[in-house]
């Protein structure tokens, strides 16, 4: 194991600084290529995990909006769903920022939303105590709807 590869295990911050210095100096043969590739791959995974998480929360709140809002607003006259609306707005904004910073994620929007849907149903089920069968088997919202600031599903 090279000194630089060993540094990766013991002092990550120093490892990143050292690799940056080597890159700037054009000393490519001294780079810790194996760990650099691992880190670059993980950066992409991190963005995908964040996108999944944002979709999970967004979809869960859209499901609650669609399938529970009417019941709550009938029970409590003052219920307007403001906290749900705030969460929906925030998740859409954060997805927009993520897509602006990592435009390559646009290619996995559909796949990620489909993957997040089962988790979103589970979250909506736990938060609302509505039966899982209340919610559709597949995500009822298109990517365009999910990202549309003006879209709120019919109640």
Assess whether pLDDT exceeds 90 at residue 119: yes
Query: Tell me, what's the pLDDT at 69?
Result: 65
Length of the chain: 155
Distances (CA, A) of 60 to 17, 75, 87, 93, 140: 41, 21, 10, 16, 12
Residues 16 and 42: their CA atoms lie apart, in Å, by 14
Higher pLDDT, 112 or 76: 112
Contact (Cβ atoms closer than 8 angstroms) between residue 41 and residue 96: no
What letter would DSSP give residue 103? G
Residues ≥6 apart with Cβ < 8 Å to 23? 31
Contacts 24+ apart (CB under 8 A), 37-43: none
Query: pTM score, two decimals?
Result: 0.75
**Per-residue pLDDT tens for 52-79?**
999 999 999 999 989 886 665 555 555 5
**Domain boundaries along the sequence of the chain:** 1-31, 44-147
Query: Tell me, what's the pLDDT at 141?
Result: 97
Neighbours of 33 (CB within 10 A): 13
Contact (Cβ atoms closer than 8 angstroms) between residue 45 and residue 131: no
**Per-residue pLDDT tens for 35-49?**
999 888 777 788 999
Query: Tell me, what's the pLDDT at 82?
Result: 77
């Amino acid at each position: 194991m090279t000194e630089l590869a060993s540094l990766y295990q013991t002092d990550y911050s120093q490892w990143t600084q050292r690799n940056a210095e080597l890159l700037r100096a054009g000393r490519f043969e001294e780079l810790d290529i194996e760990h650099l590739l691992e880190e670059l791959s993980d950066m992409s995974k991190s963005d995908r995990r964040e996108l999944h998480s944002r979709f999970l929360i967004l979809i869960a709140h859209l499901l609650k909006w669609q399938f529970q809002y009417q019941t709550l607003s009938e029970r409590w006259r003052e219920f307007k769903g403001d906290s749900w609306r705030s969460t929906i707005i925030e998740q859409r904004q954060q997805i927009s920022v993520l897509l602006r910073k990592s435009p390559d994620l646009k290619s996995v929007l559909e796949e990620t939303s489909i993957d997040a849907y089962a988790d979103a149903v589970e979250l909506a089920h736990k938060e609302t105590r509505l039966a899982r069968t209340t919610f559709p088997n597949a995500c009822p919202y298109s990517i365009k709807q999910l990202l549309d600031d003006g879209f709120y599903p019919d109640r």
